[in-house]
Chains A and B, each alone.
Chain A
Amino acid sequence: MKLSELLPSGTAVVTGSLLFTADDIITFARKFDPQPFHTDAEAAKDYVFGALCASGWHTCAGWMKTYVAYIVKETGRLEAEGHEPPKLGPSPGFKKLQWLKPVYAGDTITYSMTLLESRPLVSRPGTWINTSANAGVNQKGETVLRFEGSILEFS
C-alpha cells in the first residue's frame, strides 16, 4: 500500500497531541537552544516572546514524535488487517516553516499532516517523494507551527 492510499490527499489527519511543560521546554533548550526565553521564565519577560516558550526546534521534533507514533499505529493496523503497510524512508528536508505563535509552558499542541502530492523520483526508480502540509495547533485553536515536509517512499 502506498502512503497516498493511506492518507486521502488534501485531508488533514491528526497525528497526535503533545503537552509542553516548563521542564520539557527547559530540558530541550539547555541541550540545543539555550537562549534566555527558552531556559529562564524570569529573563523571558524582557524579550519579544514575553514568557518562557519552547524552542522552535522542540515544537518541530514534537511533530515528528506524533508522526512516527501515528505511522507505527497505522502499520500495526494494516498488518493486522492483512494489508502491506507503506515502506517509508527518510526525508530530504522541508520548506516554508513558520513558527506563527510561541509555544508557552503548559500549552498542548495537536499536530496534523495533509498529503499534498506523491510523485515518482526520476533519479531513483522505485522511489516516490511525498509532500505534505504539516501543522501544530494549540489548545486555543491558534496555529503555532506550519511547514511543508517531504518523505521518501519505496516500492
Chain B
Amino acid sequence: MLYLEDFTPGRVLPLASCTLDAAAIIEFASEFDPQPMHLDEEAGKASILGGLAASGWHTASLFMRMMYDGWLANSSSEGSPGIEFMKWKKPVIAGDTLCGQSTVIEARPLRSRPGIGLVKFLHEVTNQNGDVVMRGENPIMFRARSVENATMAGDPA
C-alpha cells in the first residue's frame, strides 16, 4: 500500500497497459463526444486525426483507469483537486495499445487537512510505436502512513 510518505520525487510508477478497439471508441463518443472523427472510420480518415480516433476525454478517462490498475488502487488516494495541464499530443487510433508512467515531481502535507498530503505527478501515455500520445501534470491527495498507523493503534481491539 502506497502512502503519502512513499511518493518521493523522481519515483516512477508504471501505468497498466491497455488496447483500445473501435467499438470502445464509438461507445464513449456516442455518449460524450459524438463528432464524426470519433464515430466513423471514413470520417476519421478524412480528418487531420487520420483514422477512427478516440475522444481526448476518452483517452484521459482511459489514462485514469490505467493509473488505477497500475498503482492507484494500491494507494491511500483521496482524489484530486485538478489537472495543471493535459496535452493530447497524437491521435489515439482504434487498435492502439497504450502504456505509460506517472513520475513524482513533489510531495507536501496539506495544512488545511491534517493527515493528508498533495503529490504532484507528471503522467505520460505512450502508444505501441513509442510516441507519447498524452502528457499531463496533476496533484493527487493521499493519506499519510504515520496518521493511518496512529489511528489504528488508537482503535480499541
Contact = CB atoms under 8 A, between A and B. Distances in A.
Interface of A: 28, 31-35, 37, 47-49, 55-58, 60-62, 64-65, 68, 89-100, 147, 152
B125 interface: no
Interface string B51-83: 001011100111011001000110001111111
Contacts, number: 104
A94 B64 contact: no
Given A33-B61, A48-B116, A57-B57, A62 B32 contact: yes
A68 B47 contact: no
B3 to A, nearest CB: 15
Interface string B70-100: 0011000111111111111101000000000
B37 interface: yes
B20 interface: no
A48 B48 CA distance: 42
Contacts of A33: 61, 64-65, 68
Given A31-B65, A57-B61, A90 B79 contact: no
Contact of A95 (B48, B57, B61, B84): B84
B5 interface: no
B72 A35 contact: yes
Nearest to A148: B85
A93 B125 CA distance: 14
B137 to A, nearest CB: 9
B49 A90 contact: yes
Contact of B48 (A56, A61, A90): A90
A98 to B, nearest CB: 4
25 contacts: A31-B61, A33-B65, A33-B68, A47-B78, A48-B79, A48-B141, A55-B64, A56-B80, A57-B60, A58-B61, A61-B28, A61-B55, A64-B33, A65-B31, A65-B32, A68-B33, A68-B34, A90-B88, A92-B87, A92-B88, A93-B56, A94-B86, A95-B85, A96-B84, A97-B83
